[in-house]
Amino acid sequence: MSLLDRDRLHLWHPYTQMKTAPPPLPIVSASGVYLYTDDGRRILDGISSWWVNIHGHSHPALNAALAAQAARLEHVMFAGCTHPPAVDLADRLISLLPSGITRVFYSDNGSTAAEVAVKLAVQYWINRAEPQRRTIVALHHAYHGDTVGAMSVSEDSIFTRAFTPLLFQVERAHAPYCYRCPLGLERRSCRVDCLSDLEQTLARLGDTAAAVIVEPMLQGAGGMIVWPPEFLAGVRRLCDRFGVLLIADEVLTGFGRTGRMFACEHAEVTPDIICLSKALTAGYLPLGATCTTEAVYDAFLSDDRSRTFFHGHSFTANPLACAVALASLDLFEQDDTLARVRRLEAQLQSGLEPLRDLPIVGDVRVIGGVGAIELRDADLSPLDVARGDPEPVEGSGPRGGYLDEIGPRLAAAFLDRGLLLRPLGNVLYFMPPYVITEEETGWAIEQIKGVLQGVAIQSP
Ligand SMILES: Cc1ncc(COP(=O)(O)O)c(C=O)c1O
C-alpha cells in the first residue's frame, strides 16, 4: 500500500474534513525552503509549515544541536528538576525580550502558552486579593489557539462555535482592521479611533477586568491583519490607566516574523505577560514559553501553598526543544537573520503592492516576512474559513458567493505550480522561512501574480 493509502486507513488530520478534503501531501524529506514528496515533487514551503519554520528545513546546525542534546539528556520532568538547556534558554530569552520581562514559564505549544497566560492573569488577581478582577478582554478577529481557554479568548467563529457551551465569557473590543475599519474611517485621516472601544470596555468593566490579550501588530489566523503601531501603544496606555495586565500573544509574531525580534518592539511596549512558541524552536519541536515580569511572579510567592501556580505538562521545558531553540538563537546572530527579514519585507512590499491593481485584490498588507493579499468580498469573514477549511459549515454566518470556494481553489492552483500556500478564506498570504533567497521570493511572487491574474479573468 502507498503512504497515502495507509494514511487514509487510520489517520485523522487537523482542520480537515476527512470526507471531502483532497489527499494530504506525502512529504518524505525537506531541506531549506523546499519540501519533497514521495513521488518526486519539490514544493516551496510558502507558509513555513504553519508559521513555525524560520531558518529552513533540516538545518545542519539545528540537526547537530538536537543530536548532541539527545545523546546527553532527552527529557526529564520539570517539577523538582532542572537542566542546562532550560536555564540557558531562559537567560537568552530574557536578554532578548522587552526589558522588564524576567521570568519564563515553559509549556509545549502555542495554545498552552496562551492558556497559561490567561490562567496566570486570573490567579494573579486572586493572589493579590482582588478576585473580582476575572474578566479577560480580547479583540475581534483574535486567534489564540484551540484549547478551551485559548478558544474562549479567540474570535467567535466556526473554529469555536461547536464548543460554545464550554467557553468562558470574555469581552471583545475592536481590532484595528483598517481595510474593513469597524468605524468606517480611513487610516490616512483617522486617529486610531477604534481604540476608544477598548477604552469604553475597560471603563465599563472597572475593577472586574483582569487582562487584555492581543496579538501585537499582526493578527494571524483572523486574516493577517497588520496594525498601526499606535494601536499597540494605545493598548498599553489603556492597560496602565485601568490597572489591568497586558498579555501579548507573540506565538506567531515572535522571533523576527514582523521584522523585529518581538512585535512589541514596534511600539516599544513591554507587556506584563508574553506568549512564545512556533519559531521559538525554529519549527523543530513543540515548545511554549509564557514570560512575565517580577511583579506578576512575586504575586505567586507565599508561604501559603494554595497560591502556587498549579499548571504543568509532561513535556514542560523539553531539553531537546530547548537545545534547538538555543541553536536557533545562535543562528540569528551568525546569519544576521533580522536583516534578512528586513530584505524579505522590502521585496514583498515592492513585489506585492502592484497587485492592488488587479480587480480581484482588495488590500495588500506586508509586515516583516509576511505578505498578505485580501481578495474582494464584502461578506466573507476570513476566520470563518481560516486555515483553508474548504467546507462551508451550516450556520457559520454569511458566505461570499463566488469567493466561497476561493481559498482551496487558489491553494490547488499554487500547488500545481510547486508552491504551498493555504489561504485564510479570501486572504492569501505568503510567509516563507527567512532563508528564502531573493530569487525564490521573486519566483513565488510571480506565481501569486500569475494565479491571481487568472482568477481576475474568470471572475464575474
Ligand atoms: C497568535 C497565536 N496564538 C496561539 C496559537 C496556537 O498555537 P498552536 O497551534 O501551537 O497551539 C497560534 C497558532 O496559529 C497563533 O497564531
Q: What is the pLDDT of residues 110-141, one digit of tens each?
A: 999 999 999 999 999 999 999 999 999 999 99
Q: Residue 456: which pLDDT band, with cuts at 50, 70 and 90?
A: low
For ligand 1, say whether the CB of 159 is within 6 Å of any of its atoms.
no
User: Which pLDDT band, with edges at 50, 70 and 90, does 188 fall under?
Assistant: very high
Name which residue sits closest to atom 3 of ligand 1, judged by CA: 144
pLDDT for the residue numbered 455: 80
Instruction: Give the pLDDT score at 259.
Output: 98
* Cβ-proximal residues to 411 (8 Å cutoff; 6+ apart), any chain: 388, 421, 422, 423
Residue 406 confidence (pLDDT): 84
- Tens of pLDDT, residues 324-351: 999 999 999 999 999 999 999 999 999 9
Regarding the beta carbon of 256 and ligand 1, being less than 6 Å apart is answered no
> Is the CB–ligand 1 distance for residue 274 below 6 Å?
no
Q: Binning pLDDT at 50, 70 and 90, where does residue 382 land?
A: low
What number is the average pLDDT over the span 39-68? 98
Query: For residue 390, is pLDDT > 70?
Result: no
Q: Is the pLDDT of residue 183 over 60?
A: yes
Give me ligand 1 centre to Cα 45, in Å: 18
- Smallest Cα–Cα separation from 283: which of 144, 143, 113, 433? 433
Is residue 386 lining ligand 1, measured as CB closer than 6 Å? no
Active-site residue, selected from the candidate residues 45, 124, 146, 278: 278
* Probe target for ligand 1 pocket from 251, 253, 367, with the most ligand atoms within 8 Å of CB: 251
- Report how far ligand 1's centroid is from the alpha carbon of 144 (Å): 5
Span 15-30, pLDDT tens digits: 999 999 999 999 999 9
Kindly give the number of the ligand 1 atom that is closest to the alpha carbon of 220.
Answer: 16
Residue 6 to residue 3: CA distance in whole angstroms: 5
Better pLDDT: 384 or 252: 252
Q: Quick one: pLDDT at residue 377?
A: 67
Q: Which are the contacts of 412, defined by CB distance < 8 A and separation ≥ 6? A: 22
Determine whether the shortest distance from the Cβ of 221 to ligand 1 is under 6 A: yes
Selection from 285, 310, 309, 315 nearest residue 77 by Cα: 315
Residue 55: its pLDDT value, please? Answer: 98
Name the CA dihedral angle for 301, 302, 304, 305, rounded to a multiple of 10 degrees: 30
Average pLDDT over residues 163-179: 98
- Pocket-testing residue among 144, 315, 370, ligand 1, by greatest number of atoms within 8 A of Cβ: 144
Residue 325: what pLDDT? Answer: 99
Is pLDDT of 2 > 90?
yes
13: buried, middle or exposed (CB in 10 Å: 19+, 13-18, 0-12)?
exposed
Residue 389 near ligand 1, beta carbon < 6 Å? no
447 lines ligand 1 (CB under 6 A): no
Residue 401's pLDDT band (cuts 50, 70, 90): very low
pLDDT of residue 392: 40
Of 249, 363, 384, 404, catalytic: 249
Please give the pLDDT value at position 397.
35
* 219 CA closest ligand 1 atom index: 1
Tens digits of residue pLDDT in 220-270: 999 999 999 999 999 999 999 999 999 999 999 999 999 999 999 999 999
Rounded to whole angstroms, the Cα distance separating 250 from 289 reads: 10
Distance 176 CA to ligand 1 centre (A): 20
State the residue for C-alpha cell 498552552. 112
What mean pLDDT, rounded, does the chain reach? 93
Ligand 1 atom closest to Cα of 250?
A: 1
Decide: 215 in ligand 1 pocket, CB within 6 A.
yes
Q: State yes or no: pLDDT of 214 exceeds 80.
A: yes
Catalytic site residue 177? Answer: no
Q: Give the mean model confidence (pLDDT) for residues 50-56.
A: 98
Q: Does 19 participate in catalysis according to the annotation?
A: no
Q: What is the predicted pLDDT for the residue at 407? A: 86
pLDDT of residue 393: 38
Q: How far is the CA of 400 from the centre of ligand 1 (A)?
A: 26
Q: Does the C-beta of 408 come closer than 6 Å to ligand 1?
A: no
Give yes or no for a contact between 411 and 423, defined as CB atoms under 8 angstroms apart: yes
Query: Are 31 and 23 spatial neighbours (Cβ–Cβ below 8 Å)?
Result: no
Q: Give residue 279 CA to ligand 1 midpoint distance, Å.
A: 11
Q: What are phi and psi of 180, to 5 degrees?
A: -120, 60
110 lines ligand 1 (CB under 6 A): yes
Q: Per residue in 263-318, pLDDT tens?
A: 999 999 999 999 999 999 999 999 999 999 999 999 999 999 999 999 999 999 99
**Which residue's CA is the nearest one to ligand 1's atom 13?**
145
Task: From 143, 153, 315, 429, give the residue whose CB has the most ligand 1 atoms within 8 Å, as the site to mutate.
Answer: 143
> Per-residue confidence at 399, pLDDT binned at 50, 70, 90?
very low
Would you state the pLDDT for residue 388?
Answer: 41
Q: How far apart are CA 265 and CA 269, in angstroms?
A: 6
Name the pLDDT band for 396 (thresholds 50, 70, 90): very low
Quick one: which atom of ligand 1 is closest to the CA of 286? 10
Q: Is 249 a catalytic residue?
A: yes
Catalytic status, residue 297: no
> Can you tell me the distance from the alpha carbon of 156 to that of 165, in angstroms, rounded to the nearest whole number?
12
What is the rounded CA–CA span in Å between residue 31 and residue 54? 12
Instruction: Considering only residues 407 and 220, tell me which one the structure prediction assigns the higher pLDDT.
Output: 220
Q: Quote the pLDDT of residue 391.
A: 42
